[in-house]
Structures are given as structure tokens and as C-alpha cells.
Amino acid sequence: MLFSLPLSKIPTHWYNILPDLPQPIAPALHPGTRQPAGPQDFATLFPMNIIEQEVSSEKRIAIPEEVRQIYALWRPTPLRRAVRLEQALGTPAHIYYKYEGVSPAGSHKPNSAVAQAYYNKQAGVKRLATETGAGQWGSSLALACSMFGLECVVYMVKVSFHQKPYRRSLMHTWGATVHASPTKHTHYGRKMIEAHPDSPGSLGIAISEAIEDTVTHPGTKYALGSVLNHVCMHQTVIGQEAIDQMELAGEEPDVVIGCAGGGSNFAGIAFPFIERNWHRNKKHRLLAVEPASCPSLTKGEFRYDFGDTAEMTPLMKMYTMGHDFVPPGIHAGGLRYHGMSPIISQLHHLRLIEARSYPQAPVFDAAIQFAKTEAIIPAPESAHAICAAIDEALDAKAKKEKRVILFNLSGHGFMDMSAYDSHLAHKIEPI
């Protein structure tokens, strides 16, 4: 069952959760002085209009018309009820999913990439540098830059560069330059290659390279695909649309589920529902799902840490596995980040959201059950949310209660079929 919205229902504002937080997040610290970082400390990386957004105390920030016009190439995204999955589970629960895989890059990431490209263009920036793991973010930024006529350079984690050639090709098709990180283009990359000539790279290393590229190239700024407030905020179009669509469906979700790597996808679906909990006295449960092999929320420490490996970023207070933690090479590459959005970390610290982790095997089993009932082959990242949704539905069945479950299907799996091959051949790591 589909609940679709007209173009006019693409949200006109992003929701900024910052001023609504019952306790503010701890300030970011300058990596050198360890003193609270001010806007100027971010100015080498981001243009001022984005920095203002990052720290804004406005609850609603108007989405520029040019951005909404590009959103309109794929938004509003569909929300569907997974009736066939419910039947297969024999559950009294109702399962709804918001499907972000219809975007041209195949995930929710363009929601922020387009906004970031727009603001950089406005600020006179000519070139954006970024990193990417599995390629979801890099391809989204490549797409966004092609829309606004910006140069785009992507440092792609080397192992993914070779294992995920199709996402690399997406970036090329949209006109971006893609380097396998560690590269010889940066001081930090050369240092890494000298120390570990066969390094497969990591997201932390790629971030360090993209930042070094930014500070050494005039006219260049840096773009981050998750973690920061402005990125989470751009994703709130997902939850806002979902609220309208659940209204069309005539139901209120008891639990809202999203997978969480850096956190932007979870933030996107969850924050607008959290606002309803606060301001409209609703009681939505919010559930962030992460891989057992990179369990920052469920097993990490809540403390200050760097966002990258080279200790170049400001320190942020967040749930973290430690910035030198190298997660195993699971297929859900988008969830392999040592830290977590400071806002989501704070919400979890305040027990306002729940978190859960799953190993790979049940996640892929859930993905295949979804593919065989609802037809869509999900991204391995998104399959974490499916796995939790199925568990919630089975729990409702065991307790013979009705439960309304909503999850964010953040992307499709067309680019991840080799992961399905491994799973079907029983060649997947059990973690």
C-alpha cells in the first residue's frame, strides 16, 4: 500500500533539533588548544553560511527554492505499508517503510549533498573535497556538484574503490574526480602508504586526506556526509514527509527505526518524530540500529574524540569506539564509522532514544526476506533497520499486540550485490 504526497508537500523548512534539546550538546574543541571551537575554527573547512546553519538556534530553516527544485527530481519519496512482509511474519503489527532508495544516487544522501553544494556555490566556492567509504556519499556529492557546476574530488577508501567499481563509475559519470585513499596526493596519504604500503584505507584516513586537500587548495571547501548538525538537519525532510504520510495512512508509529553509522539517516527519520514527542505529547519510540562490529552507541564510550584518524578535526563529544578503531570489513560500509553524531549521542545519553546492534547474518536474512516479499533489494545498511523492524513485529506477535512500526529504507542494494553473493554462498563473516 502506497501513501504518496504531491510535490507541494516537499517540506519547505528543515527541522533543527538543536534549540529543542533538553540539554545542549557539549561544544566542539579545537584539536590544537582543546578549547571550545568557535565558528572561525571551522572556516577553513566550511563556508560561513553552512557554519551558521551548524550552530543555528532557529528551529526551522527555510529550504532554498533551488534546493527544493532539485529535491523535486525524486521527492517526495514514497511511504508504503509492507503488507506482504506482515503476512509472511503472521504478525498483527503494521509495518511501514519510507523509501529513500528512489533518489538518483540510490540513498538518502543527496538530501544533504544538494543542500551543501547549493550553499557552497552561494559562498563562491569552486571545488568540494570529500571522502567516501562504500560510495553512497561520494556519489551523492558528485551528483549535487554536477547540478550546481562545482568541481568535486572524492577520496574513496581504497578497498571500496576496487570492490565497488560501480559506485566509483557513478561519480565519474556525474563528473567527479575519484582517488583511491590512501593516495600520494596528500602528505598524510603518503605517510600512510610509507608505513603500510598495502593499506586498504579507512574512512578516518580518507577524511584526513579530504581535509588536507581542502586546506591546501584555494577555492576548495570540505563536505561531510553525516555526523554534523547541518547534515542531520538536511535529512529531516524524510521524517517530515513520513509524518504527513502516516497521517494519510491514518496511523501513528509506535516505533520509528533507522540504521545509524554517522547518524544522518537515523536523524532524518527520527528527529521530526522526537519533536512530536516533545511538543505534541506523542509517545513514539525511536530505535537506532547499528552493526555488532561497529557498535558505537551500544558499546562505545560517551566522550570527546576526533572525527578522523589524523586528529585534524575538532573533537566532539560523542559515543565512540576510539578514532583509531578500524571496524572489520563488513558489507554495510556506510555504517563503518568509529563515532556517532553528537546530537544522537546526546539523545542516547539522555535515554530519549534506544539503540540495538545486529551481526551481519541475521541482517542479510532479513534483507532477503524483505526482497522476497516486498520485492525491493535493500542496501546492507538499510537492512539493519529491516532486521529490527522484523524483530519488533515478531515481538508484537508474541505479545499478541498491535504495533505500528515505521522504518527508513535508506537505500537500495543494486550496488551491493556482491555482498548478497557472499551471504548466499555462506561466505559472510559471522560478526
| 165 is an interface residue for a copy of itself by CB under 8 A | yes
Binding residue (CB under 8 A) for a copy of itself from 49, 56, 169, 277 = 169
Question: Of 330, 412, 424, 422, whose CA–CA distance to 379 is shortest?
Answer: 412
Q: E strand or H helix at 361, and its extent?
A: helix 360-374
| 352 is an interface residue for a copy of itself by CB under 8 A | no
| 177 is an interface residue for a copy of itself by CB under 8 A | no
Of the pair 146, 298, the CB lying nearest a copy of itself is at 146
Reply yes or no: is the peptide bond before residue 182 cis, omega within 30 of 0.
yes
Choose the binding region for a copy of itself from 177-185, 257-265, 276-284, 367-375 (rule: CB under 8 A).
367-375
Question: Of 110, 131, 108, whose CA–CA distance to 178 is shortest?
Answer: 131
In the beta sheet, which residues pair with residue 29? 36, 315
Decide the pairing of beta strands 255-259 and 285-291: parallel
The three three-digit cell numbers of residue 112, written as one number: 544533504
Of the pair 377, 406, the CB lying nearest a copy of itself is at 377
Of the pair 110, 262, the CB lying nearest a copy of itself is at 110
Cα-based distances in Å from 398 to 88, 89, 355, 393, 407:
15, 11, 21, 9, 20
Of the pair 21, 102, the CB lying nearest a copy of itself is at 102
| 150 is an interface residue for a copy of itself by CB under 8 A | no
Binding residue (CB under 8 A) for a copy of itself from 29, 45, 61, 170 = 170
| 146 is an interface residue for a copy of itself by CB under 8 A | yes
| 4 is an interface residue for a copy of itself by CB under 8 A | yes
Rounded Cα distance, 199 and 174, in Å: 28
Burial 381-402 (b: 16+ CB within 10 A, else e): bbbbbbbbbbbbbeebbeeeee
Q: From the CB of 7, what's the least distance to a copy of itself, in Å? A: 5
Decide the pairing of beta strands 404-409 and 94-99: parallel
Choose the binding region for a copy of itself from 90-98, 99-107, 182-190, 250-258 (rule: CB under 8 A).
99-107
Q: From the CB of 65, what's the least distance to a copy of itself, in Å? A: 13
Q: From the CB of 134, what's the least distance to a copy of itself, in Å? A: 14
- Quick note: the x/- pattern for a copy of itself over 402-431, rule CB under 8 A, is ----------x-xx-xx-xx--x-------
Give yes or no for a contact between 16 and 66, defined as CB atoms under 8 angstroms apart: no
Of the pair 49, 146, the CB lying nearest a copy of itself is at 146
- Binding residues among 38-97 for a copy of itself as defined by CB under 8 A: 70, 72-74, 80, 84
Cα-based distances in Å from 298 to 98, 223, 286, 293, 319:
25, 27, 14, 11, 9
Residue 261 neighbours by CB under 8 Å, 6+ apart: 226, 290, 294, 332, 334, 335, 336, 337, 381
Of the pair 136, 346, the CB lying nearest a copy of itself is at 136
Helix (H, G, I), strand (E, B) or coil at 404: strand
Of the pair 70, 233, the CB lying nearest a copy of itself is at 70
The residues of the shown chain that bind a copy of itself, judged by CB under 8 A, are 1-2, 4, 6-7, 70, 72-74, 80, 84, 102, 104, 106, 110, 143, 146-147, 165-166, 169-170, 172-175, 368, 371-372, 374-377, 412, 414-415, 417-418, 420-421, 424
